Amino acid sequence: MRFLIVYSTTEGHTRKIARFMEEVLQEAGHQVAIADASEEPPLPENYDAILIGGSLHAHQYQSAIAHYIREHIARLNKMPGAFFSVCLAVASDLPEEHAEAHKIADDFLHITNWKPLLVTQIAGALRYSQYDFLRRIIMKMISKKEGRETDTSKDYEYTDWNAVKQFTLDFAAKAVQEK
């Protein structure tokens, strides 16, 4: 099958996840194209299935993802699709953080009117090295409150790569069944 992965990223971690998904699909024998939504991603019409992902910052996804979905909504709702939301709150031990991340993703999909087959939440990364001074302080305070890493001289990754691989393979199997 021909898969398209469209993503949007702020600090680069969503790109890393999308690239990992690309490798998983290629190893499973699929053809894969990958594109940043802020550039000119390909039309979904040329593919059998699509994965779209963005990272959550201040309760919002990047506008490029919303724009891509709205522009192609008619086609997206006629093909197998999956949405992956990258959010640091998913690494939290607090159930309310997980519930909020799920609600934001659900609201986003409702607003864009996209109905993907699968949706997943993926824990992101703390990229202290890429934050400006104020954001670094804010992220350090949040991390301290949650008992996470506060050494701002390092970056921290919370992504469960095995779960990402399983999600990607599960979606590929469902997409093949849909075709």
In tens, the pLDDT along 101-124 reads 999 999 999 999 999 999 999 999
Low-confidence ranges of the chain (pLDDT < 70): none
pLDDT at 43: 97
DSSP string, the chain: -EEEEEE--SSSHHHHHHHHHHHHHHHTT-EEEEEETTS-PPPGGG-SEEEEEEE-BTTB--HHHHHHHHHTHHHHTTS-EEEEEEEGGGG-S-HHHHHHHHHHHHHHHHHHT---SEEEEEE-EE-GGGS-HHHHHHHHHHHHHTT----TTS-EE---HHHHHHHHHHHHHHHHHH-
pLDDT at 156: 87
Full-model pTM: 0.91
* Architecture (CATH level 2) of domain 2-124+159-178: 3-Layer(aba) Sandwich (3.40)
pLDDT at 131: 87
pLDDT at 52: 98
pLDDT at 148: 80
Q: What is the Rg, in whole angstroms, of the alpha carbon atoms belonging to the chain?
A: 16
pLDDT at 90: 86
